Structure 1
Amino acid sequence: MKRTTVIAIVAASAVLAVALAALVWNLARPGSADDAAERYLRALAAGDADAMRSLLPQDALTDTLLATFGAADAYVQEPEITDSEPDGEVTTYRASVRLQGDATTIRFALTDDSGSWTLTDDSLAVIETTTTLGEAVAIGETVLPLHTDGAQGADGALTLLPAVYTAQAAPTDLLDGDATFAAITDRSAPVSIDAMLAPDAAARAQPQLDAYLDGCAQATTEVPPRCGLAIPWAADLAELTEVSLRIEAYPALSIDPATLSFIAADGVVVATAVGVDRGGATVSATYRTDAWTVRGALTFTEGQALLTVF
């Protein structure tokens, strides 16, 4: 091979290497802020949680944001950028949108300090929310805790992507009450949920009480406390060594919505006490009641209902 041919091949290889390096560099660049802003608006309008993920910081809040966004009632329509203000690594945008048929403006900012364009925290809507009962709300299947105020209700802030949402008092199986609202970043109105016990709350909570009473029925060496039981074993035994219960009917639960106290009455239980009689013999005695009653309180914590027996 002639030397000139070798030089030509080497030169061509160098040009190809430079071209490949430029291609790789271009592919690795995050693109412009304007490109990312357009992607964000398209994802907002389509309700596309997957497309939205790459634009959110990868932290504990991301999954919650996307879960609530996926459960939104309606998304923005006709989004269009109307203004942009670059400032160092952050570019702030304003865009006109239609939400629930009304024209409005949303504001958001993008930063590339992590190597790709992501939304800043102040791009999200922060909705001050109160509920008169419980201490959490649910959007779709996602439970969002609020802060208890020491009474029956709670208040707090919900952080959401721009969209229309319905927040329900949680736990949703025991509480009624919801509010539908638009989250539009810095001009979102406070949300208040007038919550109350669902009409069938007692029936829905009954399995929780039944499970608790099943624990009372486990064989033990003493009368189980906080189970609504008064077994008169001392009338027949000098010493008690074992108590076992057979539940024939669970007490039926009813809840006072004003005080959130409960009473469960008319249960049927058979107790067998084993021990030593006054003559030193091992004997057993059986007791039955058709009026098994327990009392307690209903509380709410972390979006769940809890029955506490006194």
Structure 2
Amino acid sequence: MSRARWWLIGGATGLVVVAGGLWLWQSTALSSTPEHAALDYLHALESGDPDAVAATGMKVSTSALDAFDAATALIEEARVTSVREDADGASAAVDIEFVLGDAAQGGQLRLGVVDGRWSVDATGLGTVTVDSSIGSEVAIGDATMPVGKSIPLLPAIYTVAAAPATLLDGDSSVSVLPGGKTAATVDAAVRPEATAAAQDQLDDHLETCTAPATAEAEGCGIRIPWGTEFREVSGIRYRIDASPTITLTPTGFTAEGGALVATVTGTGVNGESRTTTYRTDSWTLRGDISFTADGLVLSPW
């Protein structure tokens, strides 16, 4: 047999050995002990890296990982103090200790075997319920969450802010512990930028309100006293001389001081064609306002 052939056979054998070694390493990694799996999870939390958390095999939502990326303080000095495997050999309880925000904390993680790998279950998460004095959403970094709903988050300290931050001020700090339930309230306030955005939205609404029509549009603050002068109206044309200026409260708005001209065409009470122009310098609208994660919504009455 030639030396070249012996070399090829030897090389193939080496590949088999390498492949076998790789499989053995992967198999061992996937069959780690509950203690190793718990430590992997704790170290991932200490790193502050969402990808490291996801790599542990724990089921975590994308929104929780996004929020974790914006955590303001992470757990430190984490360690496992005891491990108890259940009789089924596929579940275990691990007691842990750590420091969060300069405070010593303790807790317990439950683990199970998934696809041959020990992984921390939902006990590794805490839940947060946040209320806000204004708005239907709050934000942690780029992640948003609904007000009043229990949301699972990874253990850390977070700054929860009123949303959207471009329109609302206010935040609150919240600590999330494994298996813990936490509530927080954001005392929100309307920023000046919200008034400007609301005025732009109102002006767009008023353009729709004043399109040519045969009757006053609802929710536009328009009341034309043509009833005593017209038997029938065939058309109304508007001219906005000044838009009402909007003022916001946390839940509503008032827009005052507008100047509106309306020219009404139709049949007068005497049966003859009639055209009359009306003007008001006290055009006023009122309504509700709501804030979402993306902006604000006016709902004129």
Q: Please, what TM-score do these two structures have when normalized by structure 1?
A: 0.75
User: Which of 170, 173, 180 is matched with 1:180 structurally?
Assistant: 173
Q: Is the 8 A contact 1:143 1:303 kept in 2?
A: no
Report SS of the residue matched to 1:73: coil
Deviations 1:54-90 (A, max 9, x none): 33556xx611101111111111122233333334333
* Residues 256, 15 of structure 1: alpha-carbon distance in 2 compared, 3 angstrom cutoff: closer
Q: Is the 8 A contact 2:174 2:184 kept in 1?
A: no
* Residues 20, 46 of structure 1: alpha-carbon distance in 2 compared, 3 angstrom cutoff: closer
CA distance in 2, matches of 1:187, 1:43: 19
* Residues 187, 196 of structure 1: alpha-carbon distance in 2 compared, 3 angstrom cutoff: closer
Q: Is the 8 A contact 1:136 1:303 kept in 2?
A: no
CA distance in 2, matches of 1:64, 1:297: 30
Q: Is the 8 A contact 1:218 1:244 kept in 2?
A: yes
Letter in 2 for 1:225: E
Letter in 1 for 2:238: L
Query: Percent identical across equivalent pairs?
Result: 31
Shift of 1:249: 2.5
CA distance in 2, matches of 1:242, 1:167: 52
Aligned alpha-carbon RMSD (Å): 3.7
Q: Aligned pair 1:73/2:64, yes or no?
A: no
User: Which of 264, 269, 281 is matched with 1:290 structurally?
Assistant: 281
Aligned match of 1:192: 184
Moved more, 66-75 or 132-141: 132-141
Report SS of the residue matched to 1:51: helix
Aligned match of 1:63: 62
Letter in 2 for 1:99: L
Shift of 1:100: 1.3
User: Which of 224, 235, 252 is matched with 2:245 structurally?
Assistant: 252
Shift of 1:17: 6.2
User: Which of 157, 160, 164 is matched with 2:157 structurally?
Assistant: 164
Report SS of the residue matched to 1:167: strand
Shift of 1:193: 1.5
User: Which of 1, 23, 47 is matched with 1:25 structurally?
Assistant: 23
Letter in 1 for 2:299: T
Q: Is the 8 A contact 2:260 2:281 kept in 1?
A: yes
* Residues 113, 268 of structure 1: alpha-carbon distance in 2 compared, 3 angstrom cutoff: same
Deviations 1:234-265 (A, max 9, x none): 566554344343333321223455xx443211
Q: Aligned pair 1:93/2:94, yes or no?
A: yes
Aligned match of 2:128: 127
Q: Please, what TM-score do these two structures have when normalized by structure 2?
A: 0.77
Report SS of the residue matched to 1:67: helix
Moved more, 100-109 or 166-175: 166-175
Shift of 1:269: 2.4
Gaps of 5+ in 2: none
Report SS of the residue matched to 1:108: strand
Q: Aligned pair 1:268/2:259, yes or no?
A: yes
Report SS of the residue matched to 2:42: helix
CA distance in 2, matches of 1:210, 1:56: 51
CA distance in 2, matches of 1:187, 1:169: 23
CA distance in 2, matches of 1:234, 1:76: 72
Moved more, 65-74 or 284-293: 284-293
CA distance in 2, matches of 1:11, 1:199: 75
Moved more, 21-30 or 246-255: 21-30
Report SS of the residue matched to 1:230: coil
Moved more, 68-77 or 208-217: 208-217
Shift of 1:93: 3.0
Q: Is the 8 A contact 2:160 2:186 kept in 1?
A: no
CA distance in 1, matches of 2:223, 2:281: 13
Report SS of the residue matched to 2:123: helix
